[in-house]
Amino acid sequence: MKPEMIKRALLIALASLVTLAGCHSFKKENVQPPTPLAKDFKPTLQVTRLWRTSVGDGAGTSGARLRPTVVDGVLYAASTNGKLVAIDATSGKSLWSKSSRTHGWFGWGDKKRKDAQYAGGPAVNGDLLAVGTLDGHVYAVNAKDGSPRWDVEVSSEVLASPVIVGDMVVVRTGDGRVYALDAATGQRRWVYDQGTVPLLSLRGNGALLAANGVLFFGSDDGKLVALRQDNGAKLWEQKLASGEGRTEIDRLNDADGAILLDGSTLYGTAYHGNVAAVDGPSGRPLWTHPFSSFESLAVNDHAVFGVNDASVVWAFDKNGGADIWKNDALKYRWLSGPAVQGNYVVVGDLEGYVHWLQTGDGALAARERLSKKAIRAQPLVVGDIVYVEDVEGRIGAYRLSAH
């Protein structure tokens, strides 16, 4: 078996540990039951669901964190069974829908055509939509109607959303590479190769961040990496985790969340590592705070918000990293990464609930249920609306108003 296949099998096995939490089978050793939701909870915030729809099978059991994107009032979403859709972001009305077909993934079924295993996003800029797949392809289509433009094969699965910057589509693959592709033709411009990727790592990759001619991402070995956008040369790297521990599990230190940029400061975190603030131009660390997470962070004017590996929600001071508050009322509910919607932090959980917490003190303010399936993707806030997607492709749009 090829090393990449071994790694993928290990990743799926690790992901199943979290999946156990969603199966209500808690007799197994070291699997913690989710904290029950308070039955006497009284919301202090009114939530209105604007619409709900469904996109194919969503992420299914792939372990991908499929998340929609919204550009110019249109929501774009994809599923692992080949659905690619455009939806009016305000009304939920379908604008177009495509079902794509491709060869089987893992090299199986090459003589038969199967659904495209969309997993890496979509990303949209102008009339170009780019999306990656579990079988190592990148597809470009017309964002106005879904008509195909080009497709390119890369070296491994694409679990993170591509980024479209300038005249390039940039994607990262599960084997530690970053590809820059010509946005018009798909032709390869450059490739960055991380060299070695840990054999054992958590399933997932954080999305690339493009800013000021530089690409930033968190690596599977716990580093924040900066690349030149024009040629892929590495500018600097900064450790978010040490990778120390007695066992292979203890040494897991993936930085699987997206890197945030606020002003000139980058924020990132890693499993078995730290939440850190780093100066963007130089890579110089500004502060660190011990914090273990495999999710993305969120930020507002005063604080950085994160969900740790036990699903405790934290707020850290942006200036020095001191913890402001933490809320463990949702512990072991395997929360999504947080998003900031006005004066509230919003997260999804393993049973399809969406929770709003006050940014000032972390108090729970509202709760709604999208479905009965896990919400693994970080909610997406655009304007005054938050969009939430569960693992089976159900998407809900919510707006807030105070009581």
Q: What is the pLDDT of residues 128-175, one digit of tens each?
A: 999 999 999 999 999 999 999 999 999 999 999 999 999 999 999 988
| Burial of residue 310 (number of CB atoms within 10 Å: 0-12, 13-18, 19+) | middle
Of 169, 167, 124, the C-alpha closest to 142 is 124
**Residue 394 domain flag:** yes
Q: What does pLDDT average to over the chain?
A: 87
**Residue 209 domain flag:** yes
The half-sphere exposure of 340 on its side-chain side, counting CA atoms within 13 A, is: 18
**Residue 10 domain flag:** no
Structural domain containing residue 150:
33-400
Q: What is the pLDDT of residues 199-256, one digit of tens each?
A: 555 566 788 999 999 999 988 777 899 999 999 999 999 988 676 656 556 555 666 7
Asked if 235 contacts 223 with a C-beta cutoff of 8 angstroms, the reply is no
Q: What is the pLDDT of residues 166-187, one digit of tens each?
A: 999 999 998 889 999 999 999 9
Strand order across the beta sheet in which 285-291 lies? 260-262, 265-269, 273-279, 285-291
pTM for this prediction: 0.88
Q: What is the pLDDT of residues 329-340, one digit of tens each?
A: 999 999 999 999
The pLDDT of residue 240 is: 84
**Residue 22 domain flag:** no
**Residue 301 domain flag:** yes
What tokens appear for 319 in the block?
Answer: 């200036």
**Residue 388 domain flag:** yes
What's the total number of domains in the chain? 1
Strand partners, 347: 355
Domain of 186: which CATH number?
A: 2.130.10.10
Q: Which amino acid is at 353?
A: Y
**Residue 4 domain flag:** no
Q: What is the pLDDT of residues 292-311, one digit of tens each?
A: 998 999 999 999 999 999 99
* Portion of the chain with pLDDT greater than 90, in percent: 72
**Residue 7 domain flag:** no
- Find all residues with CB under 8 Å of 343, minimum gap 6, and list them: 358, 359, 360
Q: What is the pLDDT of residues 39-73, one digit of tens each?
A: 999 999 999 999 999 999 999 888 888 999 999 99
Q: What is the pLDDT of residues 310-349, one digit of tens each?
A: 999 999 999 999 999 999 999 999 999 999 999 999 999 9
